[in-house]
Structure 1
Amino acid sequence: MELSYPPPLRSKYNHFTSNIDYSMTSPLGINNDYPCKGYLADLKTPEGASVATWAAGSLQKFTVVGSITHKGGSCQASLSTDGGVTFRVIHSYIGNCPLVSDFPFTVPSDTPTGPAVFSWTWFNTVGNREMYMNCASVTISAGSGSGPVDISFSSRPDAFVANVGKGCSTVESIDLEFPDPGPDITVNSLGTTPPIGLCSLAETKAGINSIKNINTGSQTSSLSGKCGGQYCKRVMV
């Protein structure tokens, strides 16, 4: 599976790419591929030109293509506004990812304007314990504004990282429950479980208890009811 929109760095779908990576569907290697398969250096070259412009606060989508879905799993969409030093989660998809092609999300209304890096990360349900990541160069433009935000962009959780030789792993045959999924979540899972090992987010953050917006289908999820005592709006997916 690979990201096709926005077209990532080194992708055959990116018309700025001259040095195509024909293994974009491969997972990250151990210890040296995170983040973005090592391709962030392209941002300083013509190959790293922006491929999409999104207004802060706008509804957007990313598209994943391919046929080896490993029975889905959990994914995150994240944005970096500091050249890939930090990736802030803008939407978590728990279960059923990437069993469909298009995944909607909202660009946070307070996202800093200017150059940014969009990342799609995926933790597969079956098969080897792996992490997949594709990154695209995008531009964030000023939006119309939508009033106060529940959580500031800079306070959003870091993108979850596991299965890359850092001591944190996911569990096979069940969807990953992100330790800190952020406030924007889509749940479509028959069952979830947290990661295992030295997963600092799981040990030091309790973001899962501050969920404010959950979209969930008719299937059950261990996230049900974990809304920090607040009402959870549920929309069928």
Structure 2
Amino acid sequence: MLKVEGAVIRNGAFTVTADFEVDPGAKVAVIGPSGAGKTTLIEAIAGFRWVERGRLLWDGRDITGAAPGARPVAMLFQDGNLFPHLTVAQNAGLGLRPDLRLSAEQKERVTTALARVGLAGMEDRKPGALSGGQQSRAALARVLLQDRPLLLLDEPFAALGPALKTEMLDLVADLAAETGATLLMISHDPEDARRITDQAILVAEGVAHPPQPTADLLDTPPPALKAYLG
């Protein structure tokens, strides 16, 4: 279980306050107006933003001061964060070892993960030789290899076309179900949230509200969200 207890998260002059719990294995959308603090919240959970007050706990363990790599978190960024000089296999292998000194068993795991996300046979390609969708798959394979129980998505598929984005969202949902990972996904598209999440955290006016059913929030949005959604 993820617990955010009385947290005040600072991003320059802007702060986000949060106090909520997320059940293990839940699929949760993080939704709200632009600039409300969604990314700030996710970055704090991942360890990239300072929590000024309060605590972050995972399964009862305080991770507030833990370095990003010491947290039970894998994060998929908007740009995929692939290294252009590395092959697809090497980019994925970073999820196992940053120095890429992989054993034979680990190399086999990389091959298996790439096949699972639809990139079998593309291990030796560089990111520049891939389509946008294939780059997203490579980034997802690295996250899969990290094998962390908490998966954070910061709109990694926003630049993809509707059909490809839907395909990637379904793949993420399938992988989360297979591994039992807890999923928090920032989304600006309510249909994406409806598609793969059962709960949603509204972030508005500097406050991250406790999760509620996604359909309930989107069917009867509060004024700040309604103004944003139109």
Whose RCO is larger (CA < 8 A, sep 6+)? 2
TM-score (norm 1): 0.27
TM-score (norm 2): 0.27
Question: Which is helix-richer, 1 or 2?
Answer: 2
> Which structure has the greater CA radius of gyration?
2
Question: Which is strand-richer, 1 or 2?
Answer: 1
